Amino acid sequence: MSSEGFLKEMQTIGEKLLLKLQKLPKADPVEIVAFCVVLLFIVTVLLLMIIACSCCCYSCCGCDGRPDHRRRKIQVRPTAH
């Protein structure tokens, strides 16, 4: 997909969302609840992605941004019986 096609698609999605938000005060209660559930799901996924990325970045690097070499992964070997 070219960048122009991507921008056109994003503009179309934005226009649909804006139209949906404009019609929301006049919508049925079921439609309002469904829209809020979808919006809550999107926000939750984005929040979890941010938390996961920050935890992963923190475990690899210290607070100052340098790698922490004290934390090394230890390989676990099976015990011989």
pLDDT at 69 over 60: no
Dist CA 10 CA 15 (whole Å): 9
Dist CA 21 CA 34 (whole Å): 13
Dist CA 11 CA 70 (whole Å): 48
More confident residue, 30 or 20: 30
E strands in 1-81: none
Tell me if 53 is assigned to some domain.
Answer: yes
Phi and psi angles of residue 67, each rounded to the nearest 5 degrees, phi first: -65, 145
- At 64 the pLDDT is 55
Q: How many domains does the chain have?
A: 1
Tell me if 13 is assigned to some domain.
Answer: no
- On average, the pLDDT of the chain sits at 81
- At 59 the pLDDT is 66
Helix (H, G, I), strand (E, B) or coil at 34: helix
Structure pTM? 0.53
- At 47 the pLDDT is 94
Tell me if 49 is assigned to some domain.
Answer: yes
Q: Which of 12-16, 21-25, 43-47, 48-52 has the lowest mean pLDDT?
A: 21-25
